Amino acid sequence: MAIKAFLITLFVSSALFLLYDIEAIKDNIQQEEKPLVSFYDSISYSLDQESVKSIVRSSEAYMYKKREEMVNATMLSRDDKRTVANFLKSDFATKVGDDFYFEGNVFFQSKEGLELTTEQLEYNSNNKIVKNYLAFEIDHDGNRYKGERLFYDSQNSVLKAYDIKFLLKGSND
């Protein structure tokens, strides 16, 4: 009789333990956010009343509740005069509201001819401000700059950089 009670207790406890693990696995699966919409070879246009404000192109795009993710992202924005203001390109981009976060082989070009390469970049599409907290390299008017952190207001052409090193264009170059 004691063996029978022991086996029943063992069976019930193992069944409860098994159900507990399955519930934990289900909770983990439900917590992983899945995209609401997926696009492949997508092009997105932002329009105002008069023209196209920006164009975003990607090989893959995923829309979630509060963000968008893009693979091989390219973004072109225009200023108020409808000329190209900024061009951005990267391996991966995330958009949350007006903020874009670019990662991997990031290339940025402003209408003033400033070309920036880095591995990570933040860009606000509303106020056209670029921020970077990693090493970067800039080409501008034949001069090359290297630095660690960057703040660039592309509407007002204000550039602030830290730990910057530069090579001036010389007559022998």
- Under 8 Å CB-to-CB from 54, ≥6 apart: which residues? 45, 46, 75, 76, 77, 78, 125
- Whether the predicted pLDDT of 63 surpasses 60: yes
- Under 8 Å CB-to-CB from 42, ≥6 apart: which residues? 57, 58, 60, 61, 70
Q: What is the pLDDT of residues 119-163, one digit of tens each?
A: 999 988 888 888 999 899 988 878 888 888 889 887 788 888 888
CATH level 3 topology of 37-167: lipopolysaccharide transport protein A fold (2.60.450)
Check: CB of residue 69 under 8 Å from CB of residue 83: no
- Whether the predicted pLDDT of 11 surpasses 80: no
pLDDT at 171: 46
Comparing 26 with 91, the larger pLDDT belongs to: 91
Q: What is the pTM of this model?
A: 0.72
Instruction: Tell me the pLDDT band of 27, cut-offs 50, 70 and 90.
Output: low
pLDDT at 127: 83
* Mean pLDDT across 6-28: 66
